[in-house]
A = this chain, B = another copy of it.
Amino acid sequence: MRVGVIGGGQLARMMVPPAIALGIELRVLAETEGMSAAIAATAVGDYRDAATVLAFARDVDVVTFDHEHVPQDVLARLAENGVAVRPGAGALAVAQDKLHMRERLSALGSPVPAWARVGDEAGLGEFLAAHGGAVVVKTPRGGYDGKGVRVVREAAEAADWLADGPLLAEELVAFRRELAQLVARRPSGEVAAWPLVETVQRDGVCAEVTAPAPDSESLQAPARELAVSIAEGLGVTGVLAVELFETTAGDLLVNELAMRPHNSGHWSIDGAVTSQFEQHLRAVLDLPLGDPSPRAAWSVMVNVLGGPEGQTMPDRYPEALAAQSGVKFHSYGKLSRPGRKVGHVTAAGPELDDVLARARAAAGFFQG
């Protein structure tokens, strides 16, 4: 069995260990030499070039992704040539365009913030007036980790973006916290859901994840049902991450979707019987899914962001590993620079306070 992954980042890298365990051959089309997933890179090239992607896809059983940026015309060429692509082009289109996503989610009846497609300052002004004078605007494409997102109080603040096309305007949601629900779905329909988790963002970037989300008993089933309905409604195969707001009124609203393993699921490598990376491989190969149950009462994942410029996480292992012998350390093989995600750490155990403290202390060694 051979899985081809387009993109050589850390998500592709973290698919390699479960592929080795299961005896699945993983091939990666990396953007450049020396990327995070270099150990599995069998080709280097531009994922926007159909000929490059087709040549890469020729010898694999299924193509999947490290990111959602492969253009629709390239995906169409793969389909024309009989290549199995999971998730498929139709589902990926929803993840690629935030306006399209809001349209499809609204059509499915999923709870979302109030939103509008705004094509000009007048339209944005109307939306501002209707939603309290401060709203979020998002570029439909290309945003991630806080990029392409802006809070505006006057329409003119989005003039630069409006010059490039319509934007998604959304109400500023009064939320208690952010949550994420991950599910996996295989083509034959089987789904599996991890527990609902709490995510903490800093500067628009995921900083910390607690699994399960504390005090979330009453939210677990609704979140799972919502994510499954989206996976089924959009025909997603592989892992689907549904980023959620828990509003101050206690409701769940869908913030964003990702159709691939997601930062909010990294805890599952060490904390669940079946990690999101193993599950993604099983799902895209249409193999039976694994048990997503947590292995411990609590798992906490903390991202390693930045750190001393030009260093790597292993440079700090002598102190970090000595101080936290029970924490699992994950380095993405990248040199640190300000704000860059270079790895993560995960702690697990029966007491949340202890688990949080250990994970934060371990991550702290790399960010000094």
Complex Cα distance A125/B363, Å? 64
B20, A39: Cβ atoms closer than 8 Å: yes
A13 smallest CB distance to B (angstroms): 7
Is A199 at the interface (CB under 8 A from chain B)? Answer: no
Q: Which chain B residues border A328 with CB–CB below 8 Å?
A: 21, 273
Is A332 at the interface (CB under 8 A from chain B)? Answer: yes
Complex Cα distance A313/B22, Å? 8
Q: A321 contacts which of B14, B290, B317 (Cβ < 8 Å)?
A: B290
Q: Which chain B residues border A290 with CB–CB below 8 Å?
A: 321, 325-326
Number of copies: 2
Q: A322 contacts which of B288, B322, B329, B330 (Cβ < 8 Å)?
A: B288
Q: Which chain B residues border A289 with CB–CB below 8 Å?
A: 321, 325
Q: Which residue of B lies closest to A333 (CB)?
A: B23
Is A24 at the interface (CB under 8 A from chain B)? Answer: yes
Complex Cα distance A288/B316, Å? 11
Q: Which residue of B lies closest to A282 (CB)?
A: B321
Is A287 at the interface (CB under 8 A from chain B)? Answer: yes
Q: Which residue of B lies closest to A312 (CB)?
A: B23
| 18-67 of chain A: CB within 8 A of chain B | 18, 20-24, 39-40
A23, B314: Cβ atoms closer than 8 Å: yes
B24, A20: Cβ atoms closer than 8 Å: no
Is A307 at the interface (CB under 8 A from chain B)? Answer: no
B16, A288: Cβ atoms closer than 8 Å: no
Q: A22 contacts which of B1, B291, B314, B326 (Cβ < 8 Å)?
A: B314
Q: Which chain B residues border A313 with CB–CB below 8 Å?
A: 23
Q: Which chain B residues border A343 with CB–CB below 8 Å?
A: 23
Is A220 at the interface (CB under 8 A from chain B)? Answer: no
Is A367 at the interface (CB under 8 A from chain B)? Answer: no
Q: Which chain B residues border A255 with CB–CB below 8 Å?
A: none
Q: A17 contacts which of B1, B21, B314, B321 (Cβ < 8 Å)?
A: B21
Q: Which chain B residues border A141 with CB–CB below 8 Å?
A: none
Complex Cα distance A287/B23, Å? 29
Q: Which chain B residues border A1 with CB–CB below 8 Å?
A: 314
A21, B329: Cβ atoms closer than 8 Å: yes
Q: Which residue of B lies closest to A319 (CB)?
A: B288
| 162-190 of chain A: CB within 8 A of chain B | none
Complex Cα distance A153/B269, Å? 53
Q: Which chain B residues border A314 with CB–CB below 8 Å?
A: 1, 22-24
Q: Which chain B residues border A274 with CB–CB below 8 Å?
A: 325
User: Closest 7 CB pairs between A and B?
Assistant: A23-B331, A17-B17, A288-B322, A288-B321, A291-B326, A291-B325, A23-B333
Interface CB pairs A-B, < 8 A, 18: A16-B16, A16-B17, A16-B20, A16-B39, A17-B17, A17-B18, A17-B21, A21-B328, A21-B330, A22-B314, A23-B312, A23-B313, A23-B331, A24-B314, A287-B318, A288-B317, A291-B326, A295-B295
